[in-house]
Structure 1
């Protein structure tokens, strides 16, 4: 798999990244560590060298699983993790980074990201200048190689950039969820900030495996995903039917078509999760799907069957209380 530069850094990332929210187990059902370890390893061996995790995924459990899967090839892998919104004071950032280093069994983190802006989930308000000072110090000490932010609006990203170099933004972004295109994408293009899209398959909706009338276990976070509700879900089914002939033309899955479309967008890379080794290998195959300009436009138009109705939904995909 061809790699790409992460922002202005000297880090090379794979355009498909391995997402590991599910590895933490919390808010997911039916996840086993042994399967996740095999999935991460299979992703790496298929060319997905960049692994995204976070301290909050199972309170460090996801990071520990990543380490178990990849410690012997650490020098060939790119680790991206995140500090949560409740740890954004200077000392808290330093402590959180040290915990993540320990969990990941490494002495450096390639990309360290602010997971949510301060104030999210009723967290304390901390000036971004203070958080960035801690991140800049960690970078100077060699504990982290690059700084990123996640779930930041354009305005929040611009403010953070006043206090140091930001090399990536991690927003929810898929063919069915495109809020970031009208908000932060133009700024990212102008300032060469890589976009690491999470939920690039709209939490599995773009795989086509959830048919009309599907319901989720209440413990599954997707039960609160706006895309799986009512008319949004019905429109998604219509769009998927229109995407199927294009996928068949390329002899690829719907999931691979959606990932290929996404990584063809300006600055965009896709963080795709996997429950097992087979899914990891399938995700990697998306990098081989080459879409023409006409096909990209056709797919774009089909996606708008869903996204044009979501204009007022804001940036957050879930209807959490």
Structure 2
């Protein structure tokens, strides 16, 4: 299970109106029981609740060497605040060192103050140099920013939204990572739940973040529904969309992050990697026009 990362945004208890937190909690335990070793979290997931739950998992599996990825939110980008953020994460997790520390979103996004890249990156280097984390990287930065960052620090990994239906990283970022030997992690591998075996999607409450996710926009719904039907048609009997979604991302050299919140989601990786023949058939279903229409956008959120 070394090429799977367990995502924990949903278990934080906010932004997901259709998630049962207790069932999600049990599913995390099951995934770790089945060998997953890496866990992704962040201070903003449930205002620290996700990190606290991950801490409980670490204590329960104390005989295992679980590797934790956490992040620095965009309102904590100065040198002092980066250190404050990672120390707060370590306290909630109950550990002394992260495996990986990432900048969650660029400074200036989500109404936050602007901070120079140089200051934030030096703070990341400080966190690594002082032993607070083994590895460092960034999430959701533009290719132009990555090229600038590459001249300032050595990044170990990058994290972006990536799935069969959302492929903005293919417009330069995946190539950037590959040529430099940087691990590329893909979140929302299951396309925010679209690539699961629910027959319908949508109808969220007003506080659900998916109301603002581009893939749920009305203009895209008919085409996505049609492509889902075609994807199901190319799958062998007994193979689900989630298994396809994970296998496809892995085939691209990207490490999938799975936000599993029901036992059924465990099939996403339990049945193993699908054949290249099936993956090629699936790729043919996703129209080039749809990929081109979404284009190089990197954020799932915003106007369609």
Selected match of 1:298 from 281, 285, 288 = 281
The CA distance in 2 between the partners of 1:304 and 1:320, in whole Å, is 21
Give, in angstroms, the shift of residue 220 of structure 1. 1.2
Q: Is the 8 A contact 1:48 1:284 kept in 2?
A: no
Which residue of the partner structure matches residue 217 of structure 1?
205
8 Å contact from structure 2 (residues 170, 296) kept in 1 = no
Q: Decide whether aligned partners of structure 1 residues 31 and 234 sit closer, same or farther in structure 2, where only a CA change above 3 A counts.
A: closer
Show structure 1 runs of 4+ deviating over 4 A: 30-33
Deviations 1:31-69 (A, max 9, x none): 455433322221111122111000111221110011112
When the two chains are superposed, the root-mean-square deviation of aligned CA atoms in Å is: 2.1
Quote how far apart the aligned CAs of 1:313 are. Answer: 7.2
Task: Check conservation: 1:40, 1:280, Cα contact below 8 A.
Answer: no
Match for 2:47 among 56, 59, 64? 59
Once the 2 structures are TM-superposed, how far is the Cα of residue 280 of structure 1 from its aligned partner? 5.1
Q: State the shift of 1:312 in Å.
A: 4.7
Check conservation: 2:168, 2:295, Cα contact below 8 A.
no
Equivalent positions of 1:2-81 (< 5 A) are 14-29=2-17, 31=19, 33-73=21-61, 75-81=64-70
Q: CA deviation at 1:248?
A: 2.2
Show the counterpart of 2:269: 284
Distance (whole Å) between structure 2 residues aligned to residue 142 and residue 201 of structure 1: 34
Note the 1:82-121 alignment, pairs <5 A.
82-121=71-110
Q: With the length of structure 2 as denominator, give the TM-score of the two structures.
A: 0.93
- 8 Å contact 1:83–1:115 — kept in the other structure? yes
Aligned pair 1:318/2:304, yes or no? no
Secondary structure in 2 aligned to 1:171? strand
8 Å Cα contact 1:235/1:306 also seen in 2: no
Deviations along 1:77-97, whole A, 9 cap, x unmatched?
Answer: 110000000101000000001
Alpha-carbon distance change, 306 to 46 in structure 1, aligned in 2, over 3 angstroms: farther
Q: What is the SS of the residue equivalent to 2:287? A: helix
Per the normalisation by structure 1, the TM-score is 0.88
Partner SS, residue 76 of structure 1:
coil
Distance change (3 Å), C-alpha of 1:306 and 1:100: farther
Per the alignment, in what secondary structure is the counterpart of residue 116 of structure 1? Answer: coil
User: Residues 159 and 309 from structure 1, CA distance in 2 versus in 1: closer, same or farther, beyond 3 angstroms?
Assistant: closer
Q: State the match for 2:160 in structure 1.
A: 171
For residues 320 and 232 of structure 1, do their structure 2 counterparts lie closer, same or farther at Cα, with a shift above 3 Å needed?
closer
Deviation at 1:320, TM superposition (A): 7.0
232, 256, 262: which one pairs with 1:270? 256
SS of 1:85's equivalent in the other structure is coil
Query: Distance between the aligned counterparts of 1:114 and 1:279, measured in 2?
Result: 31
Contact 1:239–1:305, Cα closer than 8 Å, also in 2: no
Q: Does the CA-based 8 Å contact 1:47-1:284 persist in structure 2?
A: no
Q: 1:71 to 1:157 in 2, by over 3 A?
A: farther
Q: Which of 203, 220, 227 is 1:232 aligned to?
A: 220
1:181-260 counterparts in 2 under 5 A? 181-211=170-200, 214-249=202-237, 251-260=238-247
Q: Matches of 1:280 and 1:300 in 2, distance apart?
A: 21
Once residues 96 and 32 of structure 1 are traced to their aligned partners in structure 2, the CA distance between those partners, rounded to angstroms, is: 28
Is there any run of 5+ residues in structure 1 with no aligned partner, and where? 2-13
CA distance in 2, matches of 1:56, 1:155: 26
Pairwise CA distance, 1:290: 2.8
Deviation at 1:30, TM superposition (A): 5.2
Q: Give yes or no for contact 1:37–1:68 (8 Å, CA) kept in 2.
A: no
Structure 2 segments unaligned to the other structure (5+ residues): none
Q: CA deviation at 1:73?
A: 2.9
The CA deviation string for residues 69-116 of structure 1, in whole angstroms up to 9 with x for no partner, is: 222435511100000001010000000010000010000000000000
* CA distance in 2: counterparts of 1:320 and 1:235, whole angstroms: 17
